[in-house]
Chains A and B, each alone.
Chain A
Amino acid sequence: MSALLASTRAELLRLRRWPATWVLIGVWFALDLAFVYVFDYIAYRTGEAAGPADQVPRAQLLAGLLPDAVPVAAVQGTPLFGGAILLILGALAAGSGFGWGSWKTVLTQGPGRGTAFGGTLVVLALTVVGLVLATLGLDLAVASVLAAVEDQPATLPSIGALAEGAGAGSLVLGMWCAAGVLIGVLTRSPALAVGLGLVWALVVENLLRGVADLIGGLAVVTDHLPGTAAGSLVGALGGSTGEGTPGVQTILTGGTALGVLLGYLVLFAVGGLVLMRRRDLA
């Protein structure tokens, strides 16, 4: 246990000082603010009260910008760009050490392989949860300011709703992050891992879904792919933003999506751990 704590502290030190970590976190916050608040607020301010039929009604836009919509709004980006960003983080965190030779150095320090790698997993898990909580906090602040500016009631979301949002966001981001870690360990190359991971998450899953429409039994498989499960879990949170947000889906029920996501999370993390313990580090 103390060895895992030591490995966690070591990994925390080096990931905290890594510019790449902060770049990715910064990109997440920038995208979150832009797509959840900035663009919708501009659309709301510039839109006409009775806009064209194909546009989202102004009232609905405004509702999505207010504090009580935060639990849904803050995590609506997790299935798409949030997942991609965390996949990159996981792939870089686990994959870079092979090329740098730092894994080799770390694994001759003292903790066992599983423990040392466990430290990385713990730090990434903490990063994911911290990131989701910070996002909820930031979005609550922004939404409260908007509510004040627009003279709207600043009704805060319930703790239960916040917890649900935080849980769903953490699970989705954590699953993609673990996927990145596994690909990083598999390829031992951060560049290849990031490339392959993004191609899968952004392209292949969508293509497969298209193919499933043509071939009968394939839908069972595509309905349970990581991206589908992630989108379905966030979709199950409901709210005004559910439809039309890229990546958010309603294919699986919330419960099923939760189970599938947990399964993937464990599979990816344990897969990475087993590989790391077994393989030659040459």
Chain B
Amino acid sequence: MTDTIVRTDALSKRYGDRLAVDSVSLTVRQGEVYGFLGPNGAGKTTTLRMVLGLVRPTSGRAVVLGGAPGSPPVVGRVGALVEGPGFYPYLSGRDNLRVMARYQQVDDRGVDAVLDRVDLRSRGGDRYSRYSLGMKQRLGVAAALLGDPDLLVLDEPTNGLDPAGMADMRALLVDVAAGGQTVVLSSHLLAEVQEVCDRVGVIAGGRLLAEGTVAELRGATAVLLRARPLDLALAVVMRVSGDDAVEVVHGGAGDALRVHAGPALIPQLTRELVSAGVDVLEVRTVERSLEEVFLAMTGAPMTQPAGGAR
């Protein structure tokens, strides 16, 4: 058995003269939470639809759980929520799941279990059409969880959830992954992806721009230094860490130096600066946020949840 759960190979989808997905080659590994990150219209949903076999690729191919997307043995092992929940409005939430349980040939007992996991059990008897937006979304996630799939594909699962619901959903995803299930999660919320995902694929304009762990994408940490006089400090830093490892950045609190080095360098750096007669105002380590990475890659701003990226 391979530990690759999803592999796409130059997957493309063309709608008319618009290339919605352009040669996307990504890899999702066993047991990880894979974040699929991109702005509106980037092609996230279209890619996931092809992975699920709902849409036929124009070119390229995908291998899911060792088989073809959409083939019955594969679909049976995948749980999905794509572009919002879709249910029979006249049935209760529980009956909707019972219908899906019959399609999956799993026991009705699983229905209450998944309702519990998304906190909907007490409202399971209410008609779906009377659910709030967030409740509908959670029922969609419940349907995806039904039958303990090996791969869970969730397209913006926290859409419409309140902050507490979002936190619950993230905890649920981490929990699911800890149980050995693989999760593919699309999102345009950086904080969400940064918090729960092991690996991330960044997509914009239909193209996969980068793929890697969150740490890899952010790159190495840096040290931010504010000191006076700046040119003397610059000379000292260049002597300590090398000419290329430092740049001057312009910030609100005045110019500062950004040193591409780990925190281990800080004691030596401050000693040298002080002995050279430099006034050190501030020294701290900084990590690039995923947002900065994203901006650097695409130049497109991304939406932020309240509180912003960490």
Contact = CB atoms under 8 A, between A and B. Distances in A.
A72 B51 CA distance: 54
Given A6-B102, A280-B56, A281-B54, A108 B78 contact: yes
A140 B87 CA distance: 40
Interface string A235-271: 0000000000000000000000000000000000000
A54 to B, nearest CB: 48
A106 B49 CA distance: 14
A100 B88 contact: yes
Residue from A7, A9, A102, A116 having most chain B Cβ neighbours under 10 A: A102
Contacts of A18: 88, 90
A56 interface: no
B214 interface: no
Contacts of A55: none
A205 B102 CA distance: 41
Nearest to A278: B56
Interface residues of B, number: 35
Interface in B48-78: 49, 52-56, 70-72, 75-76, 78
Count class of interface residues, chain A: 20 to 34
Q: Is the interface of B mostly helix, strand, loop or mixed?
A: loop
Interface of A is mostly: helix
A27 interface: no
A103 B76 CA distance: 15
B105 A2 contact: yes
A101 B85 contact: yes
B43 to A, nearest CB: 13
Given A108-B52, A108-B54, A111-B72, A102 B103 contact: no
A110 interface: yes
A46 interface: no
A107 B140 CA distance: 14
Contacts of B104: 6, 109-110
Given A100-B88, A110-B76, A280-B55, 10 more contacts: A7-B102, A14-B95, A97-B86, A105-B85, A108-B52, A108-B78, A110-B72, A112-B72, A115-B72, A281-B49
Interface of B: 49, 52-56, 70-72, 75-76, 78-80, 82-91, 95, 98-100, 102-105, 140, 143, 147
Closest 6 CB pairs of A and B: A101-B86, A10-B102, A110-B76, A109-B103, A108-B80, A280-B55
7 contacts: A6-B104, A14-B91, A100-B87, A105-B87, A106-B100, A110-B75, A112-B71
